[in-house]
Structure 1
Amino acid sequence: MKYLILTLSLLFVSQTVSAQDFALQQLEDSPRHQEWVEVKDGDRTIHSFVVYPEVSENAMAVIVIHENRGLTDWVRSFADQLAAEGYIAIAPDLLSQFDENYQRTRDFESSDAARDALYQLEPQRITQDLMAVQNYVTDLPAATGEVVVAGFCWGGSQSFRYATNADGLSAALVFYGSATTDEDRIRNISSPVYGFYGGDDQRINSTIPETSELMEKHDKTYIYNIYEGAGHGYMRTGDAPDAERANKTARDSSWEWIRDILSDL
């Protein structure tokens, strides 16, 4: 009986590891050029992951803002998927130089610790880091100078917030992130905002009507889709080999919309 329990335990661990490793495997199998870069902003360094598309002309760039667990392999794999579509993707680690002991996400002992640290960041610091990344990617020789921002969960909220601060964005893609209700900030938005939401995510979806009303009041473009049956984080969970059907369907449908949005910019 002990051997049976041990075998079942090892099988469970193996399946769990396999489920966690799918994103890393996607990165390792990618033919595209990937690199880590150090984006400088004064005395700060923002460690960022960049993936280049295999194209013959300059490409639009997309800043990918990670979830509340920091810059994970899945976020990097999403950047690679964007590059596969023909775009330069840059994913900054917003936990860069958190303190003397933690210089980036991978330095934290757990994803819970990374999450706790992330919520200690000052909003102005996040904005400054994203502006530095935008300036960096705008000036890349292989870039067109057009920049889109896209974020997930915590990063989705940051994507919306960054649209209220930044100049020169072509669009903001908000994946299941809440929006600011500060009308002065909303007035500052100069780019269209596109929202992607799971139907089973009322914590976030309950904020959509107020967001929509404020955006319409100030004549801002806010277009969104709610994907029936999908949960919070469906772009990540729907990417997994063992994804639930609703999350996978929402993820695939969202990719179709992403392609349409980016190709029309």
Structure 2
Amino acid sequence: MMSSACIASILFGITCLLCELNSSLAFSSRASSSIITSWSSSVAHIIEHIVSPPPLQVTPLNELTNTRIPGPDGVDILAYTATNNNGDGKNTIILLHEFFGLNPSIVEKAELLAKDLGCTVIAPDTFRGTVTDFVPKAIWLALTTPQERVNDDLDAVCRFLGCNTDSAKKLAVVGFCYGGGKAIRYTTRGKHDAATVVFYGSPVTDVNELQRLNAPVCGIFGNQDAQFSSSLLDNFQSSLNDAGVDNDIRVYSGVGHAFWKDVSQIERRDQPQTDAYNQCTTFLREFFSSSTMRVDDTIKEAGATSSTTIKSRFLDSLDRPYDLNQGSKERTGLLNDLIQNGDSIQQPGSLESFMPVAPGRWRVIYAPHMTTMSGLAGGEFSVQYDLNDDGTIVSHAKCNFPFYKGFLSVSGSFGSVNNEVCRVDFDEAWIKASNHENDEPYPNIQSVPDSILKSLIRNLGKAAFIEPFAVFPISFLDSETIVFDFELLGTRICARKE
């Protein structure tokens, strides 16, 4: 059950390797171009920080913070809390630091926002005890801090604040740079009713992800930021519009990354820092004073559409009930409706939730990125996988491409990361070339005849099994249907049990 996203990604990775072995140089060229572009952006971002470093003051966290929050794994989360005694205690901001860690600049911004908005602002340490003013170390901290851990820590902060139990409390998540990217990935994956403010953080442009949001998004960027192209920022705004999310995305001229460095810029009324700050506070005031419920949530609370009907609408839209279907805007919309309003098993990533329904054969029925990629390669494939009650998994993809016809297979084990996230670890891979329609794959690695090709495929498969191909949040789960978030490509995969 848990492996549909993992299987699809790994199988496509192996398919790409086979493409390269068969001299499909066009794919290699595109991949190389993408990698070069990504690295060029990262290098430019690093240079920008080195050339124009922020005026940082590194202070030990035990001296800087004033709050200890019980963490998800028994380790306290240190935070700084700023309050305004004139507020009603209902409006709260979680403020996420940049990749240098929690420092006095963030504390000063927390105090300013609390004073101007009359709310509580809490700035947690997401690096769990580490701060720095050394750019390479900051980059390392950002790269090695997983979103899942940040989400768990922010969930703990929300419990501490009472956001989960008091429906009158309104929450906004505001982040700078690294923190801006973490902020929108927290609200899209868990806190759908929280507003999001992204100060020059990595955008989310997948409409499927953004459609989860029930609250508006504010984005603040500089037009000279080497990290984010104008086309990416345009895509961010258009994706929010397509997802039906209210937004205020602005790009300020003449400034690059991290252009709001400290509170003194606001006190001096520097531009465009003051305009950007006013954009943020105006956005938050409007959010805190407004109703944020979206139409589909109103329908859900009113009970106007039953979960069975929602699921049936999606399944009825498919041309093939137990095979891979072409992606379409209509089907994606129906799948999103199922995720948002369907009757999913609670805590779908936990062993207690998925093990009762996991054993059996599952088939991938909807994965738009898979059909798009296979179409570009001039063929198609279908994916099935067998889950056993001992935690083992075997998957087979039947391929029909000009460069390869037959089966790609993997095997391994599956398990749980936390209540919302599953994991699949594959340790074997093999193939069976075949032109026969009714042929069957080799059931396991032991049944594959020994050869140099067998050894080569095993090694290629092991090389492809990297961390992004292993961990997947579950958006929906019931006894016969599962939807995974395939975060590596910013899309989803739906599978159905036979």
TM-score band by shorter chain is 0.7 to 0.9
2:313 maps to: none
Stretches of structure 2 lacking an aligned partner (at least 5 in a row)? 1-54, 288-498
1:180 is displaced (CA, Å) by 2.1
Say if 2:200 is the partner of 1:213. no
Which protein shows a greater Rg? 2
1:84 is aligned, of 89, 112, 115, to: 115
Specify the alignment match of 2:283 in structure 1.
Answer: 261
SS at match of 1:229: coil
Q: Which amino acid aligns with 2:123?
A: A
Is 1:94 matched up with 2:118?
no
Kindly indicate whether the alpha-carbon contact (under 8 Å) linking 1:90 and 1:137 is maintained by their aligned counterparts in 2: no
* Matching residue of 1:40: 71
Distance (whole Å) between structure 1 residues aligned to residue 105 and residue 167 of structure 2: 24
Question: Which residue number corresponds to residue 75 of structure 1?
Answer: 106
Aligned mates of 1:112, 1:216 — CA distance in 2: 36
CA deviation profile, 1:80-116 (whole Å, cap 9, x unmatched) = 11111111010010011xxxxxxx024x695642441
Matched-pair contact (CA < 8 Å) for 2:198–2:219 = yes
Per-residue CA deviation, residues 97-153 of structure 1 (Å, 9 max, x unaligned), is: xxxxxxx024x6956424412311222111111222122223599995211000001
Are the aligned partners of 2:92 and 2:121 in contact in 1 as well (CA < 8 Å)?
Answer: yes
Q: Which runs of 5+ in 1 are unaligned?
A: 1-18, 29-33, 97-103
2:147 aligned with 1:123: yes
| In 2: Cα distance, 1:119 partner to 1:142 partner | 34
* Alignment map for 1:91-170 (pairs within 5 Å): 91-96=123-128, 104-106=129-131, 110=134, 112-139=136-163, 145-167=169-191, 169-170=193-194
1:159 is displaced (CA, Å) by: 1.4
Deviations 1:130-183 (CA, angstroms, capped at 9, x unpaired): 222122223599995211000001111111211211235341001111212334
Q: Distance in 1 between matches of 2:204 and 2:106?
A: 24
Are the structure 2 counterparts of residues 140 and 75 from structure 1 closer, same or farther at C-alpha, using a change threshold of 3 Å? Answer: farther
State whether structure 2 residue 272 is matched by structure 1 residue 250.
Answer: yes
CA distance in 2, matches of 1:64, 1:241: 18
Alpha carbons 2:68, 2:79 under 8 Å: kept: yes
Match of 2:256 in 1: 231
- Equivalent-residue separation in structure 2 for 1:188 and 1:56 (angstroms): 30
1:171 and 2:202 aligned: no
The 3 A distance-change label for structure 1 pair 210 and 47 is: same
**Contact 1:197-1:205 within 8 A present in 2 as well:** no
Aligned residues: 227
RMSD: 3.2
TM-score by length of 2: 0.41
Q: Which of 83, 101, 104 is the aligned partner of 1:52?
A: 83
User: Of Structure 1 and Structure 2, which has the larger fraction of its residues in helix?
Assistant: 1
Moved more, 64-73 or 201-210: 201-210
Q: Secondary structure at the match of 2:219?
A: strand
> Do the aligned residues in 2 keep the contact of 1:176 with 1:198 (CA within 8 Å)?
yes
> Structure 2 CA distance, aligned partners of 1:46 and 1:214?
34
Give the 3-state SS of the residue equivalent to 1:151 in structure 2.
strand
1 CA distance for matches of 2:124 and 2:244?
A: 31
SS of the aligned residue for 2:195 comes to strand
Greater CA drift, 178-187 or 134-143: 134-143
Paired amino acid for 1:70 = G
CA contact (8 A) 1:175 1:196 kept: yes
Q: Residues 200 and 75 (structure 1 numbering): CA distance in 2 closer, same or farther, change over 3 Å? A: same
| 3-state SS of paired residue (1:135) | helix
- Distance in structure 2 (CA, Å) of the matches to 1:118 and 1:94: 10
| CA shift for structure 1 position 67 | 0.3
Q: Please list, as runs of the form range in 1=range in 2, the aligned pairs for 1:189-208 lying within 5 A after superposition.
A: 189-206=213-230, 207-208=232-233
8 Å CA contact retained: 1:67, 1:153: yes
3-state SS of the aligned residue for 1:160?
Answer: helix
Q: TM-score, normalised by structure 1?
A: 0.74
Change (3 A) 1:237 1:229: farther
